Amino acid sequence: MRVSIITSVFNAKDTIEDTIESVLLQTYDDIEYIVIDAASTDGSIDIIKRYEEKITIFVSEFDNGIYEGHNKGIALATGDIIGFLNSDDIFEDRYTVEKIVDRFDSCDCDSVYGDLVYVKRDDIDFVVRYWKSREYDRSKLQRGWMPPHPTFYVKRYIYEKFGYFDTDFKIAADYDLMIRFLSKAKITTSYIPEVLVRMKTGGKSNKSIKNIIQKSREDLKAMHLNQVGNIYSLFFKNISKIPQFFIKTP
């Protein structure tokens, strides 16, 4: 199976090279790598162009945010499976994509996901938070559960059938998409019980109190649209993160 990996970039000169190299070092040999840049002005484009011969598709043009970038990438993708590696993320090891494909082969499912660790931006070996995802149970969605989006790989026909990211959401479109797929569309999924991605801290959703409030509002909107959960689900969704700060070893 061909795997399409999409990286959306905007002004990420300090991290984008690690992300690109993480993809290029993968042992799986049928990867379509798509980089969507939102007209960066900080030198990111120069870094990306150094790898242009090894990147399948590179687009640089203005867009309205990461989710529009993701949607552009999905529209261009030809792979059987689609996943995202954001410009401050890296794969856990060289075999990550191979493990993902092996799981698709063995489970004949629509999607797979795994664990994720948040690491310091200047020290990827320092684990700040360990998102241990655990086995999927649809009832968990009512308690605010979600898989880590950077580990969530989905067959391309699911996007074609059930839609892309809803760009009305500015922070929580990934949450909306995952519960739409898992709850409304009832796609099948399988859990890989190991860390697949390392995410550097400093993401948009937690940068400020204002963003945290906006994310909470968008989470509630996503729950309402997909008929999953309520204000209590949002409470459990947030407090479930607390134990993740006390698990430091993948």
pLDDT of residue 48: 98
| pLDDT of 20 higher than 80 | yes
Instruction: Please give the Cα distance from 206 to 189 (Å, whole number).
Output: 28
pLDDT of residue 111: 98
Torsion of CA 144, 183, 32, 77, to 10 degrees: -120
pLDDT of residue 206: 53
Q: What is the mean pLDDT of residues 176-181?
A: 97
| pLDDT of 238 higher than 90 | no
pLDDT of residue 205: 47
Which of residues 245 and 114 earns the better pLDDT score?
114
Tens digit of pLDDT for each residue in 132-177? Answer: 999 999 899 988 899 999 999 999 999 999 999 999 999 999 999 9
Instruction: Please give the Cα distance from 9 to 35 (Å, whole number).
Output: 7
Instruction: Please give the Cα distance from 235 to 216 (Å, whole number).
Output: 9
**Domain 3-246, CATH:** 3.90.550.10
Q: What is the mean pLDDT of residues 63-89?
A: 97
Query: DSSP readout, the chain?
Result: --EEEEEEESS-TTTHHHHHHHHHT-S-S-EEEEEEE----SSHHHHHHTTGGG-SEEEE---SSHHHHHHHHHHH--SSEEEE--TTEEESSTTHHHHHHHHHHHH--SEEEEEEEEEETTEEEEEEEEE------GGGGGGT----GGG-EEEHHHHHHH----TT-SS-HHHHHHHIIIIIS---EEEEEEEEEEEES--GGGSSHHHHHHHHHHHHHHHHHHT---HHHHHHHHHTTGGGGG----
- pTM for the model: 0.92
